[in-house]
Structure 1
Amino acid sequence: MWVFLNWALGLRELGCDVVWLEGIVKGGWTPGHAEVSQRLADLKTRLSPYGFSDRIALWSNDDQLVPRHVAEQCIGLEAAGDADLLVNVNYQTPAAVIERFRRSALIDIDPGLLQTWLSDRSYNFAIPLHDVLFTIGETVGQPDTKIPDVGIEWHYTPPCVALSWWPPVPTTETAPLTTVSHWVSDNWLRDETGQLWSNEKRTGFIPYLDLPRHTSQILELALQLRPEDEADRTLLRKHGWRVQDAWMVAGTPWEYQAYVRQSLGEFSCVKPSCVRFQNAWISDRTLCYLASGKPAIIEHTGASRFLPDHAGLLRFTDFKTAQECLEAVSTDYGKHSRLARSLVEEHFDAKNVIKKLLERALS
């Protein structure tokens, strides 16, 4: 939820009146009225600490999915007519909803993947028309990019973090380097020859399976593991990784934040698509670590105009450089902690990022 909270909080800090737009989708499985009601209650609970619990509007691709007593607890979609802009980060938002707004902006948070889904007919994927389309991938739409050209004008925007909600927090030297992640997702893509390749986080981590045995740092993964993934949990622990259940340690926005803040920093591999596409991507999760004054050691996702390789954010390309990054953080943690915070203040402050996005989207 912090992907969306950082944008919503940044908009509000700029003085915007923010409505949280949430969708209920009828698909292969349809939630019943009782479940819709419970999910709205859960959403309100999660949004309450951030002041959005009474600012929720619902859309649905089937009017029967929204019971009257649920709709009465939300802001009506007719309020869209008064809004200056829809900032959309949900590719499933129907055209009929988007058309209610005077202006609409889509934010692509899956650079390379979204363009692949759009360009390959086998995915049967499309997005409705928006007035302007943004992407957090620096190389999308650029010359010599490895990302498919789908004939759309993409405007780059950095991802953002609401700095006032993520102040620097000290931690103990014995704390682990952590990350929070999916593991197995059955995410497969086709290459130019039609061959399938895995885009799971598991695939990204396997080449670094033995890394805990080659560093003095404690490496911990908070993963969404299924019962059938128990063999992987055993394998990771056998090679020295500490493994937590992501739902147990980061199941709510505040637990997620606490988990990040009590970490020494982040260590994470990326989905193979980020390496393959060289999209210069950085995770919203990583920004939360950096804003908290936690150095982040992340797999390299391609040349960037401003992402450093060895200053607060350290980017590795193979097993050896991963070791070197871990050693660098261990040797001069204080320096990298300060540089981590400075990096987000300069390039990813939600107020600055969103101000530029609004200027372009509303022009």
Structure 2
Amino acid sequence: MKNTRKGKIVVLHLAARYPFAGVIWQLLHHLIGFRQLGLDVYYIEDHGAYVYDPNLGAPNADPTTVLKSLAAVLDRYGFGDRWSFFDSVRNDYLGMPRERCVELLRDADAVINLCGATEPRDEHRKSRCLVMLETDPGVLQLELGRKMPSAVSFARAHQLFFTYGYNIGAPDCLLPTGGIDWRPTRPPVALDEWRPGVGPAEPPRFTTVGTWQNRGNDFEIAGETYYWSKDVNFRKMLEVANRASQPIELASDLTSGPDYDRALRGGFTFTPVVPMSLDIDGYRNYISASRGEFTVAKDIYVRPRTGWFSDRTVCYLAAGRPVVTQRTGFEKTIPTGIGLLGFDTADEAVDAIRIINSDYPRHARAAREIAAEYFDAAKLLDEIRQAAGI
């Protein structure tokens, strides 16, 4: 008799811990993508940390408000009875009960530790196949290279390792592999959720969404510091808008100070990142109504030549909005020049914007084509399915 059993996947993540639209879309793209492959998909968030409450601007021991919003999103996409959150204060699971979560972690064909969000405990280590899916390369590789006990213990709990650092292991990448067989991958996007043609045909403004300055996780390689933040690279680009005669809007938490003033003088405008970034539809509408994305990358992705690519940027591409972004090494494996243009210098950034504006419809079409060819969730996640033997 033919075996009709579906493969079963559990995704671990941090969508309640950081309940911002970009983070929630990251989760949804994986849940939807694995389901498109015919798999039985569940979500468990059990890192044990407090959630971040945007209304308080601080961590909150009570996850009720955040979980109400997240539960509504998961229900909307068909995962209403397939999620659970471990409340460390109550020492209990909200959503699916503890017994069901433990059963799923034990019996699933693969458990995906997305972002490495969860420090593996006994119930995770007993999984058939615990998969590390790293979205932010750099720190773990260096800690493994230095044989830090916490990093070694974390890695040993996993059987497969995927990373957005597509260039790790290449001669021009400064990151060590740490003795791990890293499998390169890219951020997936559920193409049906991001359709071209939404919003004006040729919107006036390029945009981007994000935090101006991140703190922590800086590291040294050969005595040189690499920064886990984008602000050091944005400061080199703050005259680009004026030079390209192109309106560029930053949805950012930056509201004052020297960088803010200089950006305004350079032709940039700002809009508050909250509340838009707390709503998945508002976030999607903002991207879809943009002319394209203009952005830089964190220093730790750029100078070490990691090959990293942004999961926010793939949303712009999927929405048919061209992208001008800083090179990280991704240009070795993803075609650039039409729809997606990379830069190292402000001069190159200005030229890239002018190239897009010279034939915007062509670049808009190419953006969607790049998303479909290189970032389709079903294609990328099928590589993980096959590697896990499902």
The alignment partner of 1:178 has SS state of: strand
Q: List aligned pairs for 1:28-107, cutoff 5 A.
A: 31-32=60-61, 35-59=62-86, 62=88, 64-67=89-92, 76-93=101-118, 94-107=120-133
Query: CA offsets, 1:3-25, max 9 Å, x none?
Result: 22111111111221211121242
Secondary structure in 1 matching 2:333 = coil
Give me the whole-angstrom Cα distance separating, in 2, the residues matched to 1:234 and 1:333: 30
Determine the structure 1 residue equivalent to 2:158: 130
1:89–1:164 Cα change, 3 Å: same
Which residue in the other structure is 1:13 paired with? 36
Separation of aligned partners in 2, 1:257 and 1:269: 20
Displacement of 1:36 after TM fit? 2.6
Matched, 1:307 2:334: yes
Q: Which moved more, 1:256-265 or 1:296-305?
A: 296-305
User: In structure 1, the residue corresponding to 2:221 is in which secondary structure?
Assistant: coil
1:217 lines up with 2:246 in the alignment: yes
Out of 263, 266, 284, the position equivalent to 2:293 is 266
Task: Give the CA deviation at 1:130.
Answer: 0.9
Residue-by-residue CA offset, 1:207-238 (whole Å, 9 max, x unaligned): 0011111012210111134x7x5554343223
Shift of 1:68: 6.8
1:141-156 to structure 2, matched below 5 A, reads 141-156=169-184
Residue 213 of structure 2 is matched in structure 1 by 184
Structure 1 Cα separation of the partners of residues 349 and 171 of structure 2: 30
Runs of 4+ in 1 over 4 A off after TM superposition: 67-75, 120-126
Q: Which secondary structure state, in structure 2, belongs to the residue aligned with residue 311 of structure 1?
A: coil
Q: Distance in 1 between matches of 2:192 and 2:232?
A: 35
> Is the CA contact 1:221–1:241 (under 8 Å) kept in the aligned structure 2?
yes
Q: Which runs of 5+ in 2 are unaligned?
A: 1-23, 51-57
What's the counterpart of residue 173 of structure 1?
A: 202
Instruction: Label 1:44 to 1:311 Cα distance change in 2 as closer, same or farther (>3 A).
Output: same
Distance 1:257 1:120, change over 3 A: farther
Q: Which amino acid aligns with 2:307?
A: A
Is 1:362 paired with 2:385? no
Change in Cα spacing, 1:336 to 1:26, as seen in structure 2 (3 Å) is closer
**Greater alpha carbon shift after TM alignment, 121-130 vs 273-282:** 121-130
Once residues 71 and 379 of structure 2 are traced to their aligned partners in structure 1, the CA distance between those partners, rounded to angstroms, is 28
Q: Structure 1 pair 86/319, CA: closer, same or farther in 2 (3 Å)?
A: same
Using a 3 Å threshold, how does the CA distance of structure 1 residues 242 and 144 change in structure 2: closer, same or farther? Answer: closer
1:2 equivalent in alignment to 2:25: yes
Q: Percent identity?
A: 29
Query: Structure 1: 5+ residue runs without aligned partners?
Result: none
**Aligned counterparts of 1:69 and 1:154: Cα–Cα separation in 2:** 34
Counterparts of 2:123 and 2:77 in 1: how far apart (Å)?
Answer: 25
More helix by share: 1
Q: State the match for 1:328 in structure 2.
A: 355
Conservation of the 8 A alpha-carbon contact between 1:178 and 1:222: yes
The reply to whether residue 116 of structure 1 matches residue 161 of structure 2 is: no
Displacement after TM superposition at 1:71 (Å): 6.1
Contact 1:108/1:114 (<8 A) preserved: no
What is the identity, as a one-letter code, of the residue corresponding to 2:46? G
How far apart are 1:30 and its partner, in Å?
Answer: 8.1
**Number of aligned residues:** 356
Deviates more, 1:231-240 or 1:270-279: 231-240
Letter in 2 for 1:104: L
Structure 2 CA distance, aligned partners of 1:317 and 1:252? 33
Which is further off, 77-86 or 322-331? 77-86
* CA–CA distance in structure 1, aligned partners of residues 210 and 229 of structure 2: 10
Equivalent residues of 2:84, 2:93 under 8 A apart: no
Q: Which moved more, 1:255-264 or 1:99-108?
A: 99-108
